[in-house]
Amino acid sequence: MNDRTKYILGLRQLATWLENNPDARVSSDERFLVPLHTNTAVEEFAAKHNLPMVTDKEGNKSTQMQFGPITYYAYGYVDFAQHLAAQNERDARKWAAEQGLELRETEVTA
């Protein structure tokens, strides 16, 4: 059994368990987030499923499908590596600030 098949089986088991346990809480986030990493992948996915796309102020694209109250939200980036680098820098600066530290640019010499 491949990973995708196992994942789908797990989703079905979760749905059955939730149905059989009406007192169990469900996720407060009704989005099923699917990173497609690139705008091109989002464009292809949206075209295949005849879905509209949204482009944010940074040029990153997303699309979504509704399944009852659950949103299947697929998204990509203009440049995924650049996005990760920027996110890592934000996280590092936040951590430093929480520690009473400050990160600053330095000149790199070879």
pLDDT digits (tens, 9 = 90+) for 66-103: 999 999 999 999 887 887 888 899 999 999 999 999 88
Q: Is the separation of the CB atoms in 85 and 43 below 8 Å? A: no
Residue pLDDT, tens place only, 20-60 = 999 998 888 889 999 999 999 999 999 999 999 999 998 99
- H or E stretch at 86: helix 80-98
Q: What is the spatial distance between Cα 88 and Cα 73, in angstroms, rounded to a whole number?
A: 23
Residue 16 pLDDT? 96
**How many angstroms separate the most distant Cα atoms in the chain?**
64
Q: What is the spatial distance between Cα 56 and Cα 73, in angstroms, rounded to a whole number?
A: 14
Residue 58 pLDDT? 86
Q: Which residue has the higher pLDDT, 105 or 64?
A: 64
Residue 18 pLDDT? 93
Does residue 9 surpass a pLDDT of 90? yes
